[in-house]
Amino acid sequence: MKLDPVTLEILNNKVAAITEEMCVTLQRTGRTLYVKETADFACALAGLDGRFFAYPRSIGVSGFVGLDCLPSIEAVVATGGPLEPGDVILTNDPYRSEGLATHLPDLHMIEPYFHEGKIVAYGWCFVHCSDVGGRVPSSISPVNTEIFQEGLRIPPVKLLRRGEMSPEVRLFLDANSRTPEANMGDIRAMLAALAAGRRRVAQVVAQHGAEVLLDAETDLIAFAEAKARAVLSTIPEGTYNFSDYLDDDAATPLPVRLALALTIKGGAVMLDFTGSDPQVATAMNIPSRGRAHAWLTLRVLALVYTLDRTVPLNAGLLGPVSVVAPLGSIVNPEEPAATGVRHAAAVRVNDVLNGAFGLALPGVMPAASSGTVIPVVVAEPNAAGGRNVQVVEPMIGGTGARQGHDGVDGRDSGISNLANNPVETVEAELGVEILSYSLRPDSGGAGQWRGGCGMELTFRILTDGSNVLGRGMERLMFRPWGRNGGRPGAPGALILNRGGTDERWLGKIDMLSVRAGDTVTFLTPGAGGWGDPFLRDPMAVLQDVENGFVTVAAAQSDYGVAIKDGQVDKTATAALRAGQRGADHDIDFGPERAAWDSAFPPELMTRLNGRLLDDPLDLRQRRRREILERALAQLPAGFPRIAPAEAQARAAQDVLEAALGT
């Protein structure tokens, strides 16, 4: 460290507070939904290497600590010459910013902060803006197949030159958005945030000197890195393999595989995603550019922070982390893959990291959380002949149980920590009547510690000709897994007119047409349990029954606890539990995944995906689809909900082996 411990701590506090002050400035002056309600924005300070040395702790999007501004800065310098005071860079292009932006609605801005003619730091901020053009309003659709459908791409350019907004850039922006005024409002709010950062950085330089600031930038990153290494070096060394699936890729019913080999050695972590599926022809690809990108490393950050809450949030946290993300895979797609809903795949990336770290740290890591974020949207015709479009609720599930602790019911901050909508404000603005917004009994995976319950949302449509959108529905097929003998959570479901004569259980929907009087019920998955449920304290089971999280029937069947007249029947419980022990496999993925793996074993899938990457891009996806469809043809209808006979599974494997040429 170049600075003394007092000065370093002072600067540590100051620079973090500057980023938070930038955020509150942005939030105060911004006026779109993404800024005000969902806080889908962030601000930070980057050092001369383009990496963040200061990041806000409690406001804005938490996961972008690991982003890198340098490629965007270099791209602008290469085309437009050196940066000058008052210049501000704008970009939204995942490919040309090398993963600074990860989908087009995120507008990223960078301003160099100067002192006496030299750059001493960069201010950075981003906002998820309302619309950047493209095929659909709001620019995001899971079924976009190329980034060209997703809107205007802005390579890193100077939006401001010496404090003046470039009229040409502005013309392009205005002409390519359905909401140019709202976007300009967001841009103004970002400029206000960057200006706030500039003033405070200048104040720090005035108080402490530019040299001290520059030293602090490197010291703070080194400090965080040392702390991260100290935490990571407590993890048993070794290589830990884990894979998980998304139910499908939004366009075909084929599941999407994410695989990880996690290697821990000497306080360093390597994440090797080899074996993950090739990039998909929908918008779920994560444009990491093969880096230790924020979307691939969030769980490592969370692990370090969970085990040492004093660690400063900055790029140093990722110093010990390296990533292998094969080019052309879902975690490092080739241009022009669409990336609009990259967060959908990131949810599962989080799960595989959680799973792999859990093999190393079974007492620290939880079982799988519910792993789904569904903004349930209703679009209804309005009097003016248009449509009211409104989020009813962002539906999530619960968090996984961990050793010694039940999961949390109806909350999950794993990927996004969004607030829900008050039912009353929704009903005041939309023609729906929300009949139930509650937790889902028996959905949390059974275990010595119970997984968090999923949720239920039931609403009645009051206007004919309405549509319901349920994007992000996941884990309808592959359940949130349980750990160390804990059971998986219940899968999600969607039901039309539940309990009526015309009740229908629907699978995943993109858009559902409904009539006045219809009721729609979303059930989100429960999270995984931890440990053998037959070891759960009967009094804890009784309490769950009293509170309605577990039914009397499930207490008996899942936990071996007999409850009679509101009391634990000790004799009957002892009899139920005698000799019974949960299966002792480490991870319980549930029967669907077991069926799937019997026909598509992990090792074979890893080899197949490796082989597919050798094919050129246009062939890759088609070949994968052909191979999987051929294999599926060997399997029973309803697979993987229906388990295959051994011969059927063998036949499917043979198809894969044949495709591999072995």
Partner 1 sequence: MKEIMDQRDGAGVRIGIDVGGTFTDFVLSDSRDGRLAYFKEPSTPDDPSRALLTGLRSLLAREGLQPGDVGALMHGTTIGLNAIIQRRGARIGLIVTRGYRDILEIARCRMPSSFDFHATKEEPLVPRARILEIGARMTPRGEVLEAPAEDEIARVAVELRALDLDAAALVTINGYANPTVEADLAHRLGAAAGLPITSAAAIWPEIREYERTLVACLNAYIQPLMQRYFDGLVAGLAEQGVTAPLLVTASNGGSLSVGSALARPVDTILSGPAAGVMAAVRLAKAAGSGGIITFDMGGTSSDIAIATGETPELATRTDIGGLPLVLPVIDVSAIGAGGGSIVWVDPHGMLKVGPQSAGAAPGPVSYRRGGTEPAVTDCYLTLGYVDPAGFLGGRMPLDADAAHAALAEVGARIALTGSDRDVAARTADGALAVTTASMASALYKTLAERGLDPRDFALMPYGGAGPTHANRLAEEADIPHVIVPPAAGTFCALGAAGADLRRDFVRSLRLPLTPETGALVRETFAALEADGSAWLDAENEPGRPRRFERGADLRYKGQAYELRVALTDLSDAAVTEAFHREHERIYGFRDSRAEVEIGTVRLAAIGPADPLSAPELATAAPAEPKGHRQIFHRGAWVAAAVHDRHALGAGARVPGPAVVEQEDTTTVVLPGWSAHVDAAGNLHLQRQAQ
* Residues 369, 399 contacting (CB under 8 angstroms): yes
Task: In angstroms, give the least distance from the CB of 437 to partner 1.
Answer: 7
C-alpha angle 320-322-323 in degrees, rounded to nearest 5: 155
Two structure tokens written together for 194: 């960057």
Q: Does 428 bind partner 1 (CB under 8 A)?
A: yes
CB of 299 to partner 1, least distance (A): 8
Residues 376-395 close enough to bind partner 1 by CB under 8 A: 394
Under the criterion CB under 8 A, does residue 8 sit at the interface with partner 1? yes
Q: Using the minimum distance from each CB to partner 1, give the nearer residue, 79 or 543.
A: 543
CB of 253 to partner 1, least distance (A): 30
Q: Under the criterion CB under 8 A, does residue 188 sit at the interface with partner 1?
A: yes
The window from 91-99, 289-297, 304-312, 604-612 that contacts partner 1 (CB under 8 A) reads 304-312
In three-state secondary structure terms, 507 is coil
CB of 455 to partner 1, least distance (A): 7
Distance in angstroms (rounded) separating the CA atoms of residues 332 and 284: 11
Nearer to partner 1, 10 or 169 (CB): 10
Q: In this chain, which of 76, 232, 353, 423 binds partner 1, going by CB under 8 A?
A: 423
From residue 572, give the alpha-carbon distance in Å to each of 20, 548, 562, 575, 582: 57, 21, 6, 5, 18
Regarding 411 and contact with partner 1 (CB under 8 A), the answer is yes
Rank residues 11 and 83 by Cβ distance to partner 1 and give the closer one. Answer: 11
Q: How far apart are CA 318 and CA 302, in angstroms?
A: 11
Contact status: 25 vs partner 1 (CB under 8 A)? yes
Does residue 31 touch partner 1 according to CB under 8 A? yes
Answer for which of 91, 458, 484, 519 binds partner 1 (CB under 8 A) is 458
**Touching partner 1, residues 430-449 (CB under 8 A):** 433-439
Dihedral pair phi/psi, residue 511, rounded to 5°: -145, 135
Q: What angle do CA 557, 562, 567 make, to 5 degrees?
A: 145
Pairing of strands 268-272, 321-324: parallel
Q: What is the dihedral of CA 429, 431, 432, 433, to 10 degrees?
A: 90
If binding is defined by CB under 8 A, does position 363 make contact with partner 1?
A: no
Identify the residue among 422, 465, 500, 507 touching partner 1 (CB under 8 A): 422
Q: Which member of 68, 150, 247, 412 binds partner 1 (CB under 8 A)?
A: 412
Q: How far is the CB of 81 from partner 1 (least distance, A)?
A: 32
The mark string for 39-78 relative to partner 1 (x by CB under 8 A, - otherwise) is -----------------------xx---------------
- If we measure between CA atoms, which residue out of 517, 360, 368 comes closest to residue 433? 517
Burial class for 449, CB neighbours closer than 10 Å (0-12, 13-18, 19+): buried
| Interface with partner 1: number of residues (CB under 8 A) | 80
Among 83, 100, 302, 541, binds partner 1 (CB under 8 A): 302
Identify whether the C-beta of residue 50 lies closer than 8 Å to the C-beta of residue 69: yes
Q: Residues 95 to 134: which contact partner 1 by CB under 8 A?
A: none
| Type and span of the H or E element at 428 | helix 423-429
Query: Is 230 near partner 1 (CB under 8 A)?
Result: yes
Q: Find the binder of partner 1 among 51, 128, 200, 577 (CB under 8 A).
A: 200
Nearer to partner 1, 72 or 183 (CB): 183
Q: How far is the CB of 8 from partner 1 (least distance, A)?
A: 6
Give 10 or 660: the residue with its C-beta nearer to partner 1: 10
Contact yes or no for 176/133 (Cβ under 8 A): yes
| Residue choice 67, 157, 196, 561 for contact with partner 1 (CB under 8 A) | 196
Count Cβ atoms below 10 Å from residue 443 Cβ, excluding itself.
29
Between CA 620 and CA 511 the distance in angstroms is: 29
Supply the DSSP symbol for 655. H
DSSP assignment of 152-218: ----SEEEEETTEE-HHHHHHHHHT-S-HHHHHHHHHHHHHHHHHHHHHHHHHHHHH-HHHHHHHHH
Does 654 contact partner 1 by CB under 8 A? no
- Contact between 37 and partner 1 by CB under 8 A: the answer reads yes
| Sign of the alpha-carbon torsion through 45, 51, 55, 59 | positive
Of 112, 319, 326, 366, the one binding partner 1 (CB under 8 A) is: 366
User: Which part of the chain contacts partner 1 (CB under 8 A), choosing from 11-19, 274-282, 598-606, 641-649?
Assistant: 11-19
Residue type, 317: L
Instruction: Check: CB of residue 463 under 8 Å from CB of residue 387.
Output: no
Task: Tally Cβ neighbours within 10 Å of residue 200.
Answer: 20
For 271, half-sphere exposure in the C-beta direction (CA atoms, 13 angstrom radius) is 32
Give yes or no for residue 330 binding partner 1 (CB under 8 A).
Answer: no
Beta carbon of residue 473, minimum distance to partner 1 (angstroms, whole number): 17
Least CB distance to partner 1 at residue 289 (A): 24
Q: How far is the CB of 301 from partner 1 (least distance, A)?
A: 7
**Residue 399 interacts with partner 1 (CB under 8 A)?**
yes
What are the angstrom distances between the C-alpha of 540 and each of 346, 350, 406, 408? 34, 29, 10, 15
> Is 417 an interacting residue with respect to partner 1 (CB under 8 A)?
yes
Distance CA 105, CA 358 (A): 34
Stretches 223-231, 247-255, 334-342, 509-517: which one binds partner 1 (CB under 8 A)? 223-231
Q: Which is nearer to partner 1, 566 or 616 (CB)?
A: 566
Q: Out of 119, 195, 226, 617, which residue is the one contacting partner 1 (CB under 8 A)?
A: 226
Shortest CB 201 distance to partner 1, Å: 13
Q: Does the protein bind partner 1 through residue 152 (CB under 8 A)?
A: no
Q: Least distance to partner 1 from the beta carbon of 548, Å?
A: 6
- Taking CB under 8 A as the criterion, which residues in 508-567 touch partner 1? 546-549
